[in-house]
Amino acid sequence: MPIRCARGTKDVLPADIPTWHFLEDLARDLAEDYGYREIRTPMFECAEIFLKGMGATSGLVERELWTFHDKHGRKLALRADMTAPTMRACQDHDLIQPELGPTRLYYLGSVFM
């Protein structure tokens, strides 16, 4: 029996890529027209940022989070949302500077829940 795409997923084939590029470019252009700048964060983060940011007390996050440990024993998680990593990046790189006005960022990327 051949291995197939996982149920509920599909491949984006070369013939479909121009449509995806068009839509992504449209979203980027619109965001940039309004003064937003793109930010890209890693596909995985320290699990703690998702557990703190999404309310770990419910247990839902813990069950829905795709986690693993690195060779140093740190608990990492595939990106479960884009807001927490974006805020972490803003803090790490001092991107929020109120004296310069609002910080406008946008992101396009995969999340895993």
Domain annotation covers residue 80 = yes
- Look up residue 93 and give its DSSP letter: T
Domain annotation covers residue 42 = yes
Domain annotation covers residue 8 = no
Domain annotation covers residue 10 = no
Helices (H), 34-97: 47-53, 60-64, 83-92
CB-based contacts of 60-67 (< 8 A; 24+ apart in sequence) = 64/113, 65/113, 66/112
Domain annotation covers residue 21 = no
Domain annotation covers residue 11 = no
Q: What are phi and psi of 89, to 5 degrees?
A: -65, -40
Q: Which pLDDT belongs to residue 113?
A: 80
Please give the residue range of the domain that contains residue 80: 33-106
Where residue 63 falls among pLDDT bands split at 50, 70, 90? confident
Q: Are 105 and 32 in contact (CB under 8 A)?
A: no
Domain annotation covers residue 92 = yes
Q: pTM of this prediction?
A: 0.82
Q: Which pLDDT belongs to residue 53?
A: 64
**pLDDT tens column, 45-56:** 999 998 886 655
Distance between terminal CA atoms of the chain? 28
Domain annotation covers residue 23 = no
**pLDDT tens column, 25-47:** 999 999 999 999 999 999 999 99
Q: How many domains does the chain have?
A: 1
